[in-house]
């Protein structure tokens, strides 16, 4: 076999193994973002650099098996958030995965998507990824499921470094101690918690049929006037068209 061809084949093999292949719309571009500890997957559509950026931050993904064991790959099996982001016709959109999702990174370990999914390291690296893309632009930061808690931590810790003008959560987890206690789950002992809700403009989409993160837990932490109730389950089944217009 030709040596150049062999090297090319090896390169393609490792790229395809490192990134879970998905269909990307023509107006989006896949950009891996290198941070201090990870390479974080992102898909971006930036058409007006002077306008705010809507950044969709993924949930916890495929963290555990149905039997409760940690998985070897936290990549979401079917990301409805990614679909929502891809269908959003706003000028500037970024869909941002969580560390170790879509990309096999040598620095990843199971703690990153289990008990340490909201660690200081994760917060810092996600901030770094967001900052590299947004610069000083205004940001509408959107967090789905566990991504809600993570975005809340980022806003609180980096309020002087990011220009976040609005925080939106979708089926969001806002305090993991509330959640693990209520649902009798393993405590996230290696994670930070959102002890204080960010003091900025915000909207929280609660799923009426949510059995993963009960509405009661969200309403403990935020004002009901900032909540919108949608008639769907935690996985946002059939809710894309509604959410696309928020």
pLDDT in tens, 92-118: 999 999 999 999 888 999 999 999 999
Q: What is the pTM of this model?
A: 0.90
Counting DSSP H helices and E strands in the chain, the numbers are 7, 8
Per CATH, the homologous superfamily of domain 22-243 is: Alpha/Beta hydrolase fold, catalytic domain (3.40.50.1820)
Nearest to residue 157, comparing CAs of 114, 112, 121?
121
Confidence of residue 9 (pLDDT cuts 50, 70, 90): very low
pLDDT in tens, 159-172: 999 999 999 999 99
Spell out where 47-187 has E strands. Answer: 53-57, 92-96, 138-144, 163-170
Query: Coil, helix or strand for 74?
Result: coil
Instruction: Please state whether beta strands 39-46 and 92-96 pair in parallel, antiparallel, or not at all (unpaired).
Output: antiparallel
pLDDT in tens, 135-194: 999 999 999 999 999 999 999 999 999 999 999 999 999 999 999 999 999 999 999 999
Looking at residue 4, its pLDDT comes to 38
Q: Residue 44 in contact with residue 28, Cβ under 8 Å?
A: yes
Domain boundaries, the chain: 22-243
Nearest to residue 180, comparing CAs of 171, 172, 189?
189
pLDDT in tens, 26-63: 999 999 999 999 999 999 999 998 899 999 999 999 99
Confidence of residue 238 (pLDDT cuts 50, 70, 90): confident
Looking at residue 220, its pLDDT comes to 97
Looking at residue 246, its pLDDT comes to 65
* Dihedral (CA of 114, 116, 119, 124) sign: negative
Mean per-residue pLDDT, 122-132: 98
């Amino acid at each position: 076999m030709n040596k150049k061809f062999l090297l090319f084949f090896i390169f393609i093999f490792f790229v395809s193994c490192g990134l879970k292949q998905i269909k990307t719309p023509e107006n989006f571009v896949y950009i891996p973002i290198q941070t201090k500890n990870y390479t974080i997957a992102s898909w971006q559509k930036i058409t007006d650099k002077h306008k705010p950026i809507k950044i969709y931050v993924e949930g916890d993904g495929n963290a555990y098996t149905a039997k409760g064991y940690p998985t070897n790959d936290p990549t979401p099996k079917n990301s409805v958030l990614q679909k929502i982001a891809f269908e959003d016709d706003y000028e500037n959109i970024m869909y941002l995965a969580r560390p170790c999702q879509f990309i096999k990174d040598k620095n990843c370990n199971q703690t990153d998507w289990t008990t340490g999914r909201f660690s200081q390291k994760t917060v810092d690296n996600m901030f770094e990824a967001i900052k590299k893309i947004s610069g000083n632009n205004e940001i509408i930061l959107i967090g789905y499921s566990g991504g809600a808690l993570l975005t809340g931590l980022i806003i609180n810790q980096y309020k002087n470094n990011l220009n976040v003008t609005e925080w939106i959560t979708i089926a969001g987890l806002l305090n993991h101690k509330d959640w693990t206690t209520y649902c009798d789950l393993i405590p996230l002992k290696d994670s930070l918690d959102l002890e204080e809700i960010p003091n900025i403009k915000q909207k929280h989409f609660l799923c009426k049929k949510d059995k993963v993160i009960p509405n009661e837990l969200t309403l403990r932490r935020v004002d009901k006037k900032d909540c919108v109730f949608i008639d769907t389950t935690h996985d946002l089944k059939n809710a894309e068209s509604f959410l696309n217009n928020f």
